[in-house]
Amino acid sequence: MNKSTQYAKKGEVERHWVLVDADGATLGRLATKVATILRGKNKPQYTPNADTGDFVVVINADKVKLTGTKAEHKSYWRYSGWLGGLKTESFKEAMAKHPERVIEHAIKGMLPKTTLGRQQGMKLKVYAGPEHPHAAQNPVKIDLEA
């Protein structure tokens, strides 16, 4: 009787394409579920040091919402390293300019800050509208409400 743990290896992982509709979804709840799929934690062969996740296509990024008064108070900032180089942008401004980056920022913040996390983040595709160019991969639409 063999009692060894089976670890997923690089070539053994079968990747699927998943389609997620962000229409009316809450940003944080959407981000946690998508990050789980990207990491592969929803699969039985999950291995912490291997990329076992699936590709995720998020559509309707411009229709994501926040709860409470976060839409007025949430802000994104970046710092250039120079004096006076702090740039801030409110949630509403970010959604008006580039709603894809808001979802990418939330999801990539939940991934590991390592080479593996960057590799997992590259499997995320976010689009503002309902159209996407990944129809040839036959993504399976899942409902994150369940």
119-141 pLDDT, tens digit per residue, is 999 999 999 999 999 999 999 99
Mean pLDDT for all residues in the chain: 94
What percentage of the chain reaches a pLDDT higher than 90? 88
Statement: residue 146 has pLDDT above 70? no
* Per-residue model confidence as pLDDT tens digits over 35-67: 999 999 999 999 999 999 999 999 999 999 999
Q: Taking residues 11-40, what's their average pLDDT? A: 95
- What whole-number distance in Å separates Cα of residue 103 and Cα of residue 119? 17
Q: Record the tokens describing residue 28, joined without a space.
A: 């944080």
Q: Taking residues 3-18, what's their average pLDDT? A: 88
- Residues 47/8, Cβ–Cβ less than 8 Å: yes
- What whole-number distance in Å separates Cα of residue 49 and Cα of residue 139? 26
Query: Which residue type sits at 140?
Result: V
- What whole-number distance in Å separates Cα of residue 2 and Cα of residue 5? 9
- What whole-number distance in Å separates Cα of residue 48 and Cα of residue 21? 27
* Per-residue model confidence as pLDDT tens digits over 59-103: 999 999 999 999 999 999 999 999 999 999 999 999 999 999 999
Statement: residue 1 has pLDDT above 80? no
* Total Cβ atoms within 10 A of residue 76: 14
Of the pLDDT bands very low, low, confident and very high (cuts 50, 70, 90), residue 4 is: confident
Where does 17-66+98-142 sit in CATH, by number? 3.90.1180.10
Every domain of the chain and the residues it spans? 17-66+98-142
Q: Record the tokens describing residue 100, joined without a space.
A: 């894809």
Residue 65, Cβ density class (10 Å: 0-12 exposed, 13-18 middle, ≥19 buried): middle
Q: Record the tokens describing residue 24, joined without a space.
A: 């009316």
